[in-house]
Every structure is written in structure tokens, then in C-alpha cells.
Structure 1
């Protein structure tokens, strides 16, 4: 696993030439119009990498010498009027240019509650029971050697977008809802579009949201994609590819089981599995055809997973290999996430939380 802290010494200083540090600032903080803001942003990133243990505003500010400096960093994160969205795009561009990832992975995350009344915290169901946490949708490059975050869209429940919590936390009136599909759309919109590079595939495994709707949205810019869908998602056969079959609407699970003669044994790199690829239209009009990919072990229904993808049936192995990428990324991500303060940062205000997350996402780049 890559150790990003090796670039920072115990005093929080960069052991690189100042000319490289200046280039780094211009690239990542160019949207900040004031030089003081750019300097403060770089200092904050340095402290994120050098402070050990839990990241809080108090522990971060304590690394700055003098009461005025501590107040300044607190103001910079919580109240300074700078937009975080342009800076959010910088890590994605930098990651694609320097880390050569195979794909972008987008998935649901749940950070434990930290501090008193952190913005976005709600009771969340888990296999072990309800926990009080902060759900989000995170974007990360793959594979494992490139485990860095580039975006994290907070999922706000209805109570956080209505007063009194909305006003107390400073949530903007136009803040997006916490629906998974909407967060995925925002995450895809924030991915880089570099003219000199082909678009990377997008692999969405976000808790089985409205897969067909997400797939149609991801497909619209022409990106390759694989989106996990619920077994109950509506689906029908693309009769232009399989004209001998009817076009009645079924569930994705039913459609996968309907065509046993299309099943084949494949090995995507972690053992042989049974899979089937069924061509389906992306909409009732039959435009932008996609493929429904299902895989399972015979007699073990719980192992079945279903995906909608732009890969054709002839590229089944490539599609299945893409579905493994989120697992590779997730393996070490909690340690990386906690190391830069993505999950354990306590902040009651929406703007402060987003500014901190933005700077935290830059830290590993």
C-alpha cells in the first residue's frame, strides 16, 4: 500500500524543491483567487498528512503556531468564502494523469458518527443493526495501488434539508437530496474529461440503486460503464439481437434465468464462475442497447450479482473483471480514509465539512 505521508516530515514540511511546491499549488489551488488562501490550503494539506490520529479542527489548528494562526485556519475551513467544487475536480484530473487507473469506482460509504451533531448523521441500517453514521457516495480510481479518494458526495436525509437542521448546519437551499442515484449523477459529472486521454470506464456499485436509470445517465457521455442493479430491476430482451425471444418485461433475475443456453464458465481472475450476458435495450424505445450480465454459483442464490454494462456479450470477461475493481479498492480504503480524516472528521456545518473533505481528497495526490 502506498504511504502518502512519506512526502511530509514531522514538522509538516515538504521535502521537495520550492519550485515543485509552487507548481503543485498552482495546479490544485488555481481556483483560489487570493494568494493567502492558496498558502493556507497548502498548509492545511500538510497538516492533514502530518497529524497522527483523529483529525479534528482543534488538532489541526494546534499545529499552527500562535492563536491568530489557529483562528485563521479555523476560519479558512468553516467560514472563508471559497468554492470547493472547482478544487474537487483537481484530484480527479491529477489521479488520471499520474496514477494511470484502470477505471473509476463509485460506491456507497458509511462513516461513523464523530463529535456532537455532525452534519448528515442519521440512524443507518447495517447487517449488524442500526448505527448512527454519515452516508456518502465516494469516487475512487482503481486498481488497488491507486487507492486515493477524489470525491465524496454527502447523502443528506430529508430532515437535513429542512429547517431547523438545514439552517443550523448551513445546508444550501439548492443542496441535492441524499438519493443514491442523484449522488452518483453528481459523482459522474465531476469526473475528468481529458481530451488527450480516452474516458476511463465507470464501475458503480452503490447498494443497488435504480440501476437502469443510473446506467442511462452514465452512458450519456459515451463512457464505458458497469452498473450493479437489483434482481428486481425491470428488464427486457433486446429483440434486435435475439429476435426469437419475446419482449415481455421481466425482472433482471428472471431474465438472467430465462436463457440457460447462453450461460458459460469464465474466470475473471478470482476463480471460475457461471455467467450469462443478455442484450437489453436501455429504454422502451430500444435506443442505446446494453448488456445484462449475471453471475452465480449453481445452488447458491445469495452469490448472484447482476450488472448493466456497455460491454457487449463478446466482452463478458472484461465486464466481469471490471466488477472486481471496487473490491480491490475497498480492501485498503478504510485505512487511507482514516489517515487523511475522511471518516473521523467532526464538523457540524455543511460548508466546513465539504471544505475539509475537498482538502482531504487532495492530500494523497
Structure 2
């Protein structure tokens, strides 16, 4: 086999072999390493849904189905060091500018798969029978790939609380992507990473911004988080709004007060494949009178309308253009999920195994990385390795 053909794109064996050697090195047994490589090849070659049966048909026939099912759903190997190896590999090869945290909702017809529940999904505006997960993506302007996942069910919530040293009655809390789950997931990736701490871009407007900012400040993690226009903020910009400091207003109202300070910012839209220009402005704020200073970032598509997106960040010295372009890395992850993650089967796991879901998504994330890296430009136009902000 000289190459793997999928979606009219060939992947050299050397690319997969290099990733497998690094990714599966933490697995203690040779048969596990072999099954991991076999499953990864199946994700890259099988047509249609990436079920175990379909994967087995492309890499080993019917005799492989039972062993691959056991490898994913019932084996003892821990996905955590495999994800850590993937994170370090992508940090070195992809050179991300930021880690992007965004939600994943997987609609399900029945209620028998792990983590399935009827839940209200804000982005869809309706109750959906689905799985919900948090994903962390390594991202720069040219490409992105997922490195970590947290399936939002009670077992994962207990893990999130333990990571933060919390002892709340987790069973009394609703399932969902709360600030503690986001912070715990980002901290796990930070511990795996090798380089300078990168900003964490959190694209969860319904998350508790106050709790999130407090947790990130405690961990000294740079972050940008989306907030709703109704979020109440304390004005902290004496140079621009000297008569209004210490007054609490909504993010939307505050940005209307500083719209004369807007400036055009050009950024790349990965969905359209071309540059676009928005108007953007920043203003110094606090989420509470005694909290740490932050910047509120507003973005306008229509110069005469209300801002379209609102973000707060603890990167208070960042220029507006660089900050807005960092927020757009969430769009890069969104576009790459649709373009790469879905075809390689990231959402295709069916079954009740909590461990099986995590093993499958780990291997599908590796398949995504192969696709992203082999389709990437080779002209050296990747982002700087330290993730520092560029000038506006």
C-alpha cells in the first residue's frame, strides 16, 4: 500500500506511520499499537459512516471486526497519554496560535448511546436528543485539529470538579458546558503542551463569563471568551469614558458608547475562503468591581447597527486587530470540523461505552490531523510557534 485514498485526496503512508509511531508509543503492548494504526487507517479509508464494521471491512475483513470492537470499547488502554502525544505532535508540526474551546452537539435518534439526553441547545434554539461534548482545538489561520474532548455527562463533570479541587454535589447540577468543565479541559491541554502558554479562545457565549474569568485568572491562563450582549460589565476606562467609570452597563450598551473608536480589521473567513473586513473596538472593563481588569471586544458587520459579536479577554495589552483575528480561530475550527472531522467519522461512534466514545474520538482526531496536515500549504506560511499577538 503506497497511499491511502479518501475524499479524492491521497495520504502518503509515511505521514500516517510517523504519526502512529508518536501517537501510540505510550501504549504498552505491541498488539494495541497495531490495532491503533489499523483503526486509524480504517477511519481514513472507509466510505460512509465509520462504524467498527465498516472500518473492519476496509482494513481486515470480517475477522477484524470483533478485535477492533474490543480494542475501542472494551480494552484497557488509556486514551489520555495518546491525546497528550497528539497535542505535542500538533504543537510541533501545526504550530498553533491558540487553543480553541467550542461545543459539539451530536444528534442521536435513540437514547441508548453513552451521554445521550434531551437538552436545550442554544445554537439550535430547540430541545434536541443528543450527545454534547467540549472540544479543544489547536488552531492557526491556515488549519486546525482537535486534541482533546470532554463528553458532557455526570462522569465527566466529576472529573472536571476533581481537576479543579472542587467538592460540589455534581449530581445536583444540570449537564452542560459550565465554566468549571471548560477550565478543567483547558488546564489538561496546558499540562500536555510543551511551548509558551497560548491563548485559550472559548466560543461558548452562554457560559458564565464571571466564573470563567476567575478560574482562568487563578491559573494565569490567557483567554478570550465570547459573551452575550446582555452581559453586565463595570466600565473601567478612565481615559475614554472618564465620567462613566465604575458604572455597570450591558456589553451591548457599552460598545455603543465607544463606537466612534471603531477601526476596520481584515481577517480571513475559512468558510468563504477569502478575506473580510469588520469594524472593531475595545474598552477596558471588569466583570465585577473587585475583579481583574479585562478588555471588551466588539465587532460590527453593519456600521449603523449593533455589534454582532462580543468577547472579553485578559490580554489587555493586545491591539484590536490581533485580538479580533484570534477570535476568528473559532471559525477555523468550525469550518475544519465540517470539512474534515465529519468525513473521518468523529461523530460516528455508536454504543454505550464511555471509554469507547473517548477512544474513538481520540483516533478520529488523529485522522483529522492527518487530513489537515497533508492538505496544508507548504510555503512556510504557518503562524509563529509562540502564539504571540501580531500588530493590528
Shorter chain as denominator, the TM-score bin is: 0.7 to 0.9
User: Separation in 2 of the partners of 1:205 and 1:151?
Assistant: 15
User: Where do residues 304-315 of structure 1 align in structure 2 (5 Å cutoff)?
Assistant: 304-312=308-316, 315=319
2:320 match: 316
1:276 maps onto 2:281 in alignment:
yes
1:254 match: 253
| Aligned-residue offset at 1:342 | 0.9
| Aligned-residue offset at 1:222 | 3.5
User: Separation in 2 of the partners of 1:212 and 1:286?
Assistant: 9
1:150 maps onto 2:154 in alignment:
no
| Aligned-residue offset at 1:271 | 4.8
More strand by share: 2
| Aligned-residue offset at 1:128 | 7.0
Cα pair distance change 1:108/1:225, threshold 3 Å: same
Counterpart pick for 1:8 among 4, 10, 16: 4
User: Separation in 1 of the partners of 2:191 and 2:223?
Assistant: 15
Aligned alpha-carbon RMSD (Å) = 3.6
| Aligned-residue offset at 1:33 | 1.9
User: Separation in 1 of the partners of 2:236 and 2:254?
Assistant: 11
Q: Per-residue CA shift, 1:308-358, capped at 9, x if unaligned?
A: 112336611111111222123322421311222112322222121111111
1:77 maps onto 2:72 in alignment:
yes
Cα pair distance change 1:119/1:144, threshold 3 Å: farther
Determine if contact 2:101/2:135 at 8 Å carries over to the other structure: yes
1:141 maps onto 2:138 in alignment:
yes
User: Separation in 2 of the partners of 1:360 and 1:195?
Assistant: 20
1:61 maps onto 2:56 in alignment:
yes
Structure 1: which 5+ residue stretches go unaligned? Answer: 1-5, 163-172
Determine if contact 2:107/2:129 at 8 Å carries over to the other structure: yes
The count of aligned residue pairs is: 343
TM-score, normalised to structure 2's length?
A: 0.75
Cα pair distance change 1:211/1:13, threshold 3 Å: closer
User: Separation in 1 of the partners of 2:228 and 2:43?
Assistant: 38
| Aligned-residue offset at 1:80 | 0.9
User: Separation in 1 of the partners of 2:216 and 2:350?
Assistant: 32
Query: The residue matched to 1:339 in structure 2 has which SS?
Result: coil
Counterpart pick for 2:225 among 227, 252, 257: 227
User: Separation in 1 of the partners of 2:342 and 2:94?
Assistant: 21
| Aligned-residue offset at 1:194 | 7.3
Query: The residue matched to 2:81 in structure 1 has which SS?
Result: helix
User: Separation in 2 of the partners of 1:49 and 1:321?
Assistant: 31
1:215 maps onto 2:219 in alignment:
no
Determine if contact 1:107/1:138 at 8 Å carries over to the other structure: yes
Structure 2: which 5+ residue stretches go unaligned? Answer: 159-168, 268-274, 370-392
User: Separation in 1 of the partners of 2:227 and 2:93?
Assistant: 32
Determine if contact 1:107/1:204 at 8 Å carries over to the other structure: yes
| Aligned-residue offset at 1:89 | 1.8
Q: Per-residue CA shift, 1:73-129, capped at 9, x if unaligned?
A: 111111112221222222221111101222222112222326772222333445475
Q: Per-residue CA shift, 1:21-68, capped at 9, x if unaligned?
A: 3x6444212332222212211211111111111011222233454765
Cα pair distance change 1:362/1:52, threshold 3 Å: same
TM-score, normalised to structure 1's length?
A: 0.79
| Aligned-residue offset at 1:246 | 3.3
1:168 match: none
User: Separation in 2 of the partners of 1:101 and 1:161?
Assistant: 27
2:129 match: 132
1:166 match: none
Cα pair distance change 1:86/1:174, threshold 3 Å: farther
